[in-house]
Amino acid sequence: VEADKLVAELTADGAKVVAIQADSADPAQVANAVEETVKALGGLDVLVNNAGTAYMAPIDEFPQDQFDRLVAINIGGVYSAIRSAVAHLGEGSRIINIGSINADRVPTGGTAVYAMTKGAVSSLTRALARDLGPRGITVNNVQPGPIATDLNPDEGEFAAVVRETTALGRYGHTRDIAAVVSFLAGPESGYVTGANWNVDGGFTA
């Protein structure tokens, strides 16, 4: 429903848009989504890997099925999307991963597995920048910090603690992430690749 609403809004603004549902943990579905996108839009210039999931628990209490799910989505989903898309990306194309500042800083317990998956995305970004650089394709990783969303509200006791740990003393907004992604997707970022962009209000400072 939300996807259909967004498609309608963007189409009304004159954009050509297609919404495709796929399970990021299923490589076949990811590959199909990429092919359907290319077919509908006539090509592919920018890939943004924004799917992810989280589960927090001490390592000795971490369910195996949750471990498998985090790895399949947070690492496997990114890998599958890039592997499927790269054949359609030419010189000047962009790959933008959405990671997490937990790849660099782990401020709370129970986040070992989540941090591991985001660390993998960070490493994959740097390695692929080397692999794809000769083809003129840039690869970067945006690492959000505390961002206010429905699932991560900027109010309450926990949010108050988080605000105290940021240099700016507040949560960020989704538009802050979108602005960095927009820059990395545009021509101004042509000499930027293999970089992790912390968008965290100074959380990791």
Mean pLDDT over each residue of the chain, to the nearest integer: 96
Question: Is residue 144 scored above 80 in pLDDT?
Answer: yes
Contact 73, 24 (CB under 8 A): yes
> Catalytic residue positions?
114
Note the pLDDT of residue 68. 98
Q: What is the mean pLDDT of residues 180-201?
A: 98
Question: Is residue 24 scored above 90 in pLDDT?
Answer: yes
Q: Considering the chain, what percentage of its residues have pLDDT values greater than 70?
A: 100
Note the pLDDT of residue 18. 94
Residues sharing a CB contact under 8 Å with residue 136, sequence separation 6 or more, in sequence order: 90, 91, 92, 93
**Residue 3 belongs to a domain:** no
pLDDT band at 151 (very low <50, low <70, confident <90, very high): confident
Note the pLDDT of residue 103. 94
**Residue 94 belongs to a domain:** yes
Contact 121, 159 (CB under 8 A): no
**Residue 30 belongs to a domain:** no
Q: Give the chain's domain count.
A: 1
**Residue 201 and residue 147: Cα distance in Å, rounded?**
9
**Residue 34 belongs to a domain:** no
Question: Is residue 106 scored above 90 in pLDDT?
Answer: no
Residues sharing a CB contact under 8 Å with residue 122, sequence separation 6 or more, in sequence order: 99, 103, 104, 141, 143, 196
Count Cβ atoms below 10 Å from residue 119 Cβ, excluding itself: 17
Note the pLDDT of residue 202. 96
Q: What's the predicted TM-score (pTM) here? A: 0.94
Can you give the residue range of the structural domain that contains 91?
Answer: 45-199
Report the CATH number that the domain containing residue 174 is assigned in CATH.
Answer: 3.40.50.720
Per-residue pLDDT tens over the stretch 38-79? 999 999 999 999 999 999 999 999 999 999 999 999 999 999
Question: Is residue 205 scored above 80 in pLDDT?
Answer: yes
**Residue 23 belongs to a domain:** no
Note the pLDDT of residue 108. 83
**Residue 105 belongs to a domain:** yes
Q: Considering the chain, what percentage of its residues have pLDDT values greater than 90?
A: 93
**Residue 60 belongs to a domain:** yes
Note the pLDDT of residue 152. 87
**Residue 30 and residue 198: Cα distance in Å, rounded?**
27
Q: What is the mean pLDDT of residues 106-123?
A: 94
If we measure between CA atoms, which residue out of 203, 197, 25 comes closest to residue 117?
25
Note the pLDDT of residue 6. 93
Question: Is residue 132 scored above 90 in pLDDT?
Answer: yes
- Half-sphere CA count of 149, side-chain side, radius 13 A: 10
Partners of 49 in beta bridges: 97
Percent helix, strand, coil in the chain, to 5, is 50, 10, 40
Question: Is residue 154 scored above 90 in pLDDT?
Answer: yes
